[in-house]
Amino acid sequence: MSVWLVRRVAQALVTFLLAATLAFFLMRLTPGDPLARLTEDRPVSPETLRALRARYGVDRPLVAQFSAFLGGVIRGDLGQSISHNGREVTELIRSRLPATLLLGGTALLLNFLFGIAIGVFQATRAGTGPDRALTLISLAAYATPSFWLALILQWGLGTELHWLPVAFMQEPWLAGRPWSLAGALDVFRHLVLPALSLALVTFGATARYQRAAMLDALALDCIRTARTKGLPERAVRWRHAWRNALGPMLTLFGLWLPLLVAGSLYVEAVFAWPGLGTLAAEAIAYRDYPVIMGTTILVSGVVVLGNLAADLAHRWLDPRLRTP
């Protein structure tokens, strides 16, 4: 186990490096130039443009820029943003990360709660009317564009009924004070609509996979045996079948995990949620290389960690995998 673990962690590190390298060079192959974009409205002379390129180091050979970037990553320095007047990338990310984690975490939690409950419910009643109805509902929700749902919820529950605030993370008076009771309640009220939008358009996938995996598990011999032994249905369902159906769900969790930090561009934009999604999208639009790389390696790190965790959990769940 420990040899495997060491090897697997080493692999994860290599994967992370590979992803960072690929992202760096692919990004630089894309057309567009940060300084041409930023000086678009008030053009500058070619000499000044050259000086600006030199200031941000984008005129150096790519390999030199890459090694500078890697050196920075090791020191915890992601460089300075080009489009935000040279602010530190780590500071920009730090200012946006809490909002993104809150929204992504809540959405992920809701996604898996809805998805697992619905998927298991459907599998135990496969082929019945409720199963079919839930299939239709979860698929229709999944096929809905997130911005559409967000705008409709915002309009219905916000501007028409005035039940919930339509944008931002806090009332401006309470902003920066989320730790009081009133502040926390206020953040919660603002969180409802964006988190619901995000969870509603994603839970369909979880429910589909959970239903399929649960159906497979319920058909297994050991489940039939457990039933014939007279165990209560609830115990059979959750202790035996669900445990057997957990593998694909763990993998799926690893795949959804980036939602935690990547955020959702449209949901963030519609609700003016101060998260990383809008920061990253703007950085890509402006070709603000340091910010793009900062957010990308954050996402890469979470992807790699998520998949590592999924593999670990697989092994822990299924003892047979330990002796291949």
Partner 1 sequence: MTGRPAFPAAFLSALLAVQPAASQAPPQATLVIAVAGDPDSPVPTLWRNSQGNRELSDLLFLRLADLGPTLSTIDEASFVPRLARRWTRSDPVTLTFELDPRARWQDGVPVTARDAVFALDRARDPALSPQTGTLLRRIRSVSAEGDRRVVVRFTEPYPEQLYDATYHAPPLPAHLLEGIPPESLAASAFVGRPVGNGPYALARRSPGPVIELTANPGFFLGRPGIDRILLLGAKDPEARANLLLSGEVDAIDNIYSLPNWSRLERLPSYLYYPVPGPTLIYATFNQRDPADTARPHPIFTDPGVRRALVLALDREELVRGVYGPLARVPDGPLSSLLARSVDAPPVIRPDSVGARRLLAARGWSDHDGDGVLDKDGRPLAFRLLVPGIVAARVALASRMQEAWRRLGVRVDLDVVEGAVFIERRNAGRFDMDMYGVSQDPSPSGLRQSWSCSGFGGSNVMHYCDATVDSLLQLAAGSDRARAPQLYRAAMRRIAEDVPAVFLAALVFGTPVHRRFTNVVVRPESNWSLVWQWALRPGQAIDRDRQ
Partner 2 sequence: MTSLWGATWHDRGGRLGLLLLGVLTGMALFAPGFLPDPRAMPDISHGVLLPPGPAHLLGTDEHSRDVLARLVFGGRVSLAVALGAVTLSVTLGALIGVVAGYAGGVIDAGLMRCVDAALAIPRLFLLLIIVAIIERIPLGVLILTIGATGWFGTSRLVRSEVLRLRGMDFVRAAEALGASRRRVIARHLLPGVAGPLAAATTLAVGDVILLEAGLSFLGLGVQPPTPSWGGMIFEAKPYVVTAPWMSLAPGVAIALTVVAVSLVGDALSRSAGATRS
Q: How far is the CB of 21 from partner 2 (least distance, A)?
A: 9
Q: What is the DSSP string of 136-190?
A: HHHHHHHHS-HHHHHHHHIIIIIIIT--S--SSSS-TTTTT-TTSHHHHHHHHHH
CB-facing half-sphere around the CA of 32: CA atoms within 13 A: 14
Residues 62-70: contacts with CB within 8 Å, 24+ apart? 62/25, 62/28, 66/21, 66/24, 66/25, 69/24, 69/293, 70/20
With H, G, I as helix, E, B as strand and everything else as coil, classify residue 88: strand
Position 173 contacts partner 1 (CB under 8 A): yes
Among 70, 164, 192, 215, binds partner 2 (CB under 8 A): 215
100: partner contacted, choices partner 2, partner 1, none (Cβ within 5-8 A by kind): none
Residues 6+ positions from 104 with CB-CB distance below 8 Å: 198, 259, 260, 261, 262, 263, 275
Exactly one of 175, 184, 192, 313 binds partner 1 (CB under 8 A); that residue is 175
- Name the amino acid, one letter, at 69: F
- Residues 259-298 binding partner 2 (CB under 8 A) are 284, 296
Selection from partner 1, partner 2, none that 56 binds (CB < 5 to 8 A by kind) is none
> In the bound complex, what is the minimum distance in angstroms from residue 34's beta carbon to partner 1?
8
**Is residue 320 close enough to count as binding partner 2 by CB under 8 A?**
yes
- 226 sits near partner 2 (criterion: CB under 8 A): no
3-state secondary structure of 80: strand
Q: Does 145 bind partner 2 (CB under 8 A)?
A: yes
Rounded-to-integer distance, Cα 238 and Cα 260, Å = 27
Nearest distance from C-beta of residue 151 to partner 2, angstroms: 5
257: nearest Cα among 94, 105, 97: 105
Residues lying near partner 2 in the complex (CB under 8 A): 11-12, 14-16, 18-19, 22-23, 26-27, 29-31, 132, 135-136, 139-140, 142-145, 147-148, 151-152, 155, 204-205, 208-209, 211-213, 215-216, 219, 221, 244, 247-248, 250-252, 254-255, 258, 284, 296, 299-300, 303-304, 307, 310, 314, 318, 320-321, 324
Residues lying near partner 1 in the complex (CB under 8 A): 30-33, 36-49, 51-52, 55, 80, 83-88, 95-96, 98-99, 151, 154-155, 158-159, 162, 165-170, 172-173, 175-176, 269-272, 274, 278, 285-287
